[in-house]
Amino acid sequence: MSCSSKENPSNNRMELQKAFTDMKFRQELSRHPKIFLKFWYGMSKEEFHKVVDILVAENVLVKDNDDAVYYKVPHFKPMLKPYFINNTLDQIELSQGNNLYDIYQQKYKLPGLVEKNIVAERYVEENSHYRPLPLYHRNTVKELPVCFNDKSLYSNGVKNFSFSTQSNKQKVLSKSPIVVEKENNVIVIEQSFSRIPLPSVTYSLSLSPEMQQYKSTHAITDEQRQYICTHSKYKITELLSGSVIKITYKSRLAYDRETEAYRQSVKAMNEALKRKNAENALRSEKVMVEI
């Protein structure tokens, strides 16, 4: 028998080990309740990446060069973010919840988004560029419409007066969190608000009733539009806060544990407050006697 025909015991052991590992993974994959797609609560990081490879091959997920994982949804790809505790999967979060919510609303009959004013703070100041000059067109002076005469009367400072523009409204959840409870998993949809870095600037002339009425019957030309700034007495700066909707998949078991732990925590705080109030009441009675 030639040397080339001899089997290598080391290779055989490696092949057997690989076959055993693959078989064990397939068993784990089939027996665990899933929290999202083919992912299960408590899976290891190694198992997670194996499932990712399966779903990439099935054209459900896609990976980029940085190994970030995205869920394939028509028109956009939300990032899939796993959270591990002690090397085991605890929950999965999907980004771009604001774009995804319509899908969840339709499937699970959830309440619709509502329009909300997202102005965190509004500051009014006199417009330093206020120069109500005539309109020049090809070296000829043309009269601007009467609505370009700004009659606004605001006082400077932080203001809470209300005016409505599309730029300061956003669709948000009517309540948060929204919890979708299923047999093996729970979907938690919640929102938070964060300050938008760049402020929004509006000039008072564009908000005047005369200008609004004029716009309803006339189109503002580009030439006229450049005069809105210089013909506005006030500049209104808005600091906006944007809504971020987060969608998280959790196992039903883990969610029930979290809910019970929170309930017990609230119960303990209420009991402590009740004891404190009783102690204060008793002490008040003693003080009335002592003084």
**90-104 pLDDT, tens digit each:** 999 999 899 999 999
Q: Residues 52, 95, 255, CA angle at the centre, nearest 5°?
A: 80
Q: Which of 103, 125, 121 is nearest to 112 (CA)?
A: 103
pLDDT of residue 170: 84
- The amino acid present at 193, given as its one-letter code, is F
| Residue ranges of the chain whose pLDDT lies below 70 | 1-11, 20, 135-139, 156-168
Beta bridge partners of 172: 114
The residue count for the chain:
291
* Rg (the chain; Cα; Å): 32
Q: What is the pLDDT of residues 247-281, one digit of tens each?
A: 999 999 888 888 898 889 999 999 999 999 989 98
The three-state (H, E, C) secondary structure of the chain, written as one string = CCHHHCCCHHHHHHHHHHHHHHHHHHHHHHHCCEEECCEECCCEHHHHHHHHHHHHHCCCEEECCCCCEEECECCECCEEEEEEECCEEEEEEECCHHHHHHHHHHHHCCCCCEEEECEEEEEEEECCCCCCCCEEECCEEECCCHHHCCCCCCCCEEECCCCCCHHHEEEECCCCCEEEECCCEEEEEEEEEEECCCCEEEEHHHHCHHHHHHHHHCCCCHHHHCHHHHCCCEEEEEEEEEEEEEEEEEEHHHHHHHHHHHHHHHHHHHHHHHHHHHHHHHHHHHHHHHC
pLDDT of residue 6: 55
Beta bridge partners of 179: 188
Query: Whole-angstrom Cα distance, residue 159 to residue 238?
Result: 10
The tokens of 183 are what?
């047999």
Residue 74 has phi, psi (to 5 degrees) of -55, 130
Helix-helix angle 9-31:45-57, to 10 degrees:
80
Say if residue 74 is exposed, middle or buried (CB neighbours under 10 Å; 0-12, 13-18, 19+): exposed
- Contact criterion met (CB below 8 Å) for 234 and 204: yes
pLDDT of residue 243: 87
pLDDT of residue 135: 67
Query: Whole-angstrom Cα distance, residue 40 to residue 47?
Result: 10
pLDDT of residue 165: 53
CB atoms within 10 A of CB 220: 15
Q: What is the pLDDT of residues 123-158, one digit of tens each?
A: 889 999 998 877 665 667 777 888 999 988 877 665
The tokens of 127 are what?
């417009």
Residue 158 has phi, psi (to 5 degrees) of -75, 130
pLDDT of residue 1: 47
- Contact criterion met (CB below 8 Å) for 204 and 165: no
